[in-house]
């Protein structure tokens, strides 16, 4: 019973800090809130008897990825500047791409994740078992994350292009 309480407490902590990441205007506060959310997720992995995933969560995401995020934030030196108005075509394409991504995510969750019953046995949390599951059963979500990361890289390149023009 206590394990459930601790699990849902850290789930609530992860959700609250994820909302801070989305809603806060300061990028450094958002990045540090993301670190807190990653640590709460690592605690939930430990409670689910997946210590390897918890270690990967802390080392890869809370460590390496967040250092990269903070480096980019410091490199761009983001200031509060009034943004120019976007063109309606750009705005439409952004909304359309976001809606398409959300529809694909909802389709996947409704077809594959929700309608299938959980397997009767526990999964192994070894590195080999995780790799096999990731590249066999969960290839679609893995590729969706890669597309999302590609969009983030393109956005960072666009921002760094604007920052390089502003420096000149």
Instruction: Give the pLDDT confidence of 121-132 residue by residue, as tens digits.
Output: 566 667 787 778
CA distance 82 to 67: 27
Residue 146, pLDDT score: 81
Residue 10: pLDDT band with limits 50, 70, 90: very high
Would you say residue 165 has pLDDT above 70? no
Mean pLDDT value of segment 115-142 = 71
Under 8 Å between Cβ of 131 and 139: no
Query: Tens of pLDDT along 16-51?
Result: 999 999 888 888 888 889 889 999 999 998 988 888
Query: Tens of pLDDT along 57-107?
Result: 888 887 877 777 777 777 676 555 566 676 788 888 888 998 999 899 888
Q: Residue for token digits 């394990």? A: 3
The residues spanned by each domain of the chain are 1-80
Q: Model pTM?
A: 0.55
CA atoms within 13 A on the CB side of 134: 13
Close Cβ partners of 11 (under 8 Å, ≥ 6 residues apart): 40, 44
Under 8 Å between Cβ of 41 and 33: no
Contacts 24+ apart (CB under 8 A), 62-68: 62/35, 62/38, 66/31, 66/34, 66/35, 66/38
Comparing 54 with 81, the larger pLDDT belongs to 54
CATH architecture entry for 1-80: Up-down Bundle (1.20)
């Amino acid at each position: 019973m206590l394990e459930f309480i601790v699990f849902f407490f850290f789930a609530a902590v992860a959700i609250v800090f994820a909302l801070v990441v989305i809603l806060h205007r300061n990028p450094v506060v958002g990045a540090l809130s993301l670190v807190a959310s990653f640590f709460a997720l690592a605690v939930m992995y430990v409670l689910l008897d997946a210590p390897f995933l918890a270690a990967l969560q802390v080392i890869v995401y809370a460590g390496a990825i967040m250092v990269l995020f903070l480096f980019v934030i410091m490199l761009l030196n983001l200031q509060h500047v009034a943004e120019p108005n976007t063109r309606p075509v750009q705005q439409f394409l952004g909304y359309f791409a976001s809606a398409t991504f959300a529809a694909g995510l909802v389709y996947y969750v409704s077809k594959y994740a929700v309608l299938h019953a959980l397997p009767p046995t526990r999964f192994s949390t070894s590195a080999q078992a995780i790799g096999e599951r990731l590249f066999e059963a969960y290839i679609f979500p893995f590729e969706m994350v890669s597309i999302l990361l590609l969009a983030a890289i393109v956005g960072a390149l666009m921002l760094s292009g604007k920052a390089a023009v502003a420096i000149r």
